[in-house]
A and B are shown apart, each in its own frame.
Chain A
Amino acid sequence: LLAATAVAALAGFPAGGAVAPPEDVAADQVQVGIENSETQWNADLAAHDAAKVASYYAENGWLMAPGFTAPVQGRTAIQRTMTQLCADPNFSLTFEQNTVKASVGGNEAYSRGTFTETVSGPSPGTTITFSGTYLRIYRPESGAQAAGAGVALASGPYAVWKVVEDISAGGPPPGAPKTGGGS
């Protein structure tokens, strides 16, 4: 599709007809959308709303975090993992953006920042708090896949951007409870 679009443009012809170019979404619009979305995401985490948190991820999004035994693959599995975490009364997770960048006229954006997480410790009445760095890749998603939360921008096929990759470094010390991964 991209090659055909580019060839049409080089030849001086509009890339119309069956070949539709990617919708041009302004990069600054995407950046503001991500900033607002991640603010709401923090509120959803504070409310222990696992379903809402999972809905920020693309249907095939990946979540990779220290303490996980494997990457969590897919929105359904991410919701399952978040449900497990939110069942811990001591669980809290907050994050703060440092950087948001979006491709100009393109279909990729990312955010990077720091997080602080608290979970119950291995002994009753104890908690473990740790912090680190996260990196999220966003891409537009369309149709039924785009249901739920996300970075809502406008109408059209690229109206909602979701997280396709979410990875963090830092994390729990040795001996902290493990969190299940998988798909």
Chain B
Amino acid sequence: MPRPPVPPALAPLVVAGLALGVVLPLAACGPQPTPANQAANQLGPAYVAPTARGVDAIEAAWNADLAARNPAKAASHYSTFGDLLVAEPGVAPLKDPAAVQAQLTQLFADPNFSLSFAPDVTFVSSGGDYAYTRGHFTETLSDAAAHAKKTIRGDYVTVYEADVAVANGWTAIEHVASAQTAALAPGS
């Protein structure tokens, strides 16, 4: 699917979005519209400028989707534009959200499965078109061979691309997670 063109108003808004914390209180002092909120109005009320806060909001929602064992919602944070790659420990790389959803559906069938993660670093490029997070995850699942639960801990990096079509303004386009060897012992 071709990626929709970025609205012309986005470019200045991306930069302006970084300043919204300053601009909005000023705007509240008087009725004069700023270029930022004029552009935001053109893009619709659902538009949220791509900020680090938006990235953190996505990862919080993502954790909630995983806790709710909702594979469709958990997979919906990934890009649908054909440039996706998800590489997780022990799984062949996945290249579209449908494959991620199928993988998650399989994992959620395991009653012992749980996955949570938290960012340690969130960075938004000054151009406002890319962002990334680096964080840590904990995954628990059944170990059929050992007839026990096993816990995997590790780190991840996720790259986001600005996307005006989604809530919080970002979709994940790259996600690579690396398991730490010492954490691979069953029941750890």
Alpha-carbon distance A174/B159, docked complex (angstroms): 29
Instruction: Please report whether the interface of chain B is mostly helix, strand, loop or mixed according to DSSP.
Output: mixed
Find A66's partner among B16, B22, B174, B179 (CB 8 Å cutoff): B179
Residue A44 is within 8 A (CB to CB) of chain B in the complex:
no
- Cβ contact within 8 Å between B22 and A133: no
Interface range on chain A (Cβ under 8 Å from partner): 35 or more
> Are B159 and A135 in touch, CB under 8 angstroms?
yes
* Complex contacts, A137 vs chain B, CB 8 Å: 123, 132, 134, 157, 159
Q: Which residues of B contact A139 (CB under 8 A)?
A: 123
Question: How many residues of B sit at the interface, in one of the four size bands?
Answer: 35 or more
- B85, B88, B125, B134: the one contacting A106 at CB < 8 Å is B125
Q: CA–CA, A132 to B123, complex, Å?
A: 25
In Å, the complex CA distance between A83 and B176 comes to: 25
Report if A105 contacts B (CB, 8 A): yes
- B85 contact set on A, CB distance < 8 A: 98-99, 112, 133
Given the complex of chains A and B, what is the CA–CA distance between A29 and B88 in angstroms?
31
Q: B59 interface residue, CB < 8 Å from A? A: no
CB pair B181 A103 closer than 8 Å: no
Evaluate whether A110 and B159 lie within 8 angstroms (CB atoms) in the complex, with A165-B134, A168-B176 already known.
yes
Across the interface, B87 reaches (CB within 8 A) one of A6, A106, A132, A178, namely A132
- Residue contact A181 to B180, C-beta cutoff 8 Å: yes
Bound Cα distance from A22 to B21, whole angstroms: 20
Q: Bound complex: CA of A136 vs CA of B133, how far in Å?
A: 12
Contact A169/B176 with A6-B19, A108-B132, A174-B184 known, Cβ cut-off 8 Å? yes
- Quick one: which of B64-94 are within 8 Å of A by CB? 83, 85, 87-89, 93
Chain B nearest Cβ from A3, distance in angstroms: 4
Chain A interface secondary structure, helix, strand, loop or mixed? mixed
Are the C-beta atoms of B89 and A135 separated by less than 8 Å?
no
Give Cα A62–Cα B22 distance, bound, in whole angstroms. Answer: 33
Known: A10-B16, A10-B19. A106 touches B129 (CB 8 A): yes
C-alpha spacing A6/B154, complex, angstroms: 37
| Residue picked from A3, A64, A137, most chain B C-beta under 10 Å | A64
Contact B176 A133 (CB under 8 A): yes
CB distance from A31 to the nearest CB of B (A): 13
Q: Output the least CB separation between A73 and chain B (Å).
A: 11
Q: Which residue of B lies closest to A21 (CB)?
A: B126
- Interface: B34 (CB within 8 A): yes
A106 near B155: Cβ-Cβ < 8 Å: no
Distance (Å) between the CB of B89 and the closest chain A CB? 6
Question: A108-B130, A112-B85, A169-B177 are known contacts. Are A133 and B93 too (CB-CB below 8 A)?
Answer: yes
Chain A residues with CB under 8 Å of chain B are 2-7, 9-10, 22, 62, 64-71, 98-99, 101, 103-108, 110, 112, 132-135, 137, 139, 165, 167-172, 174, 178-179, 181
> 25 interchain pairs (CB within 8 A)?
A2-B15, A4-B19, A6-B15, A6-B19, A7-B23, A10-B34, A64-B155, A64-B178, A69-B180, A71-B155, A99-B174, A103-B127, A104-B127, A106-B125, A106-B128, A108-B132, A135-B157, A139-B123, A167-B134, A167-B178, A168-B178, A169-B89, A169-B176, A169-B177, A174-B184
Give B residues with C-beta under 8 Å from A: 12, 15-16, 18-19, 21-23, 34-36, 83, 85, 87-89, 93, 121, 123, 125-132, 134, 154-157, 159, 174, 176-182, 184
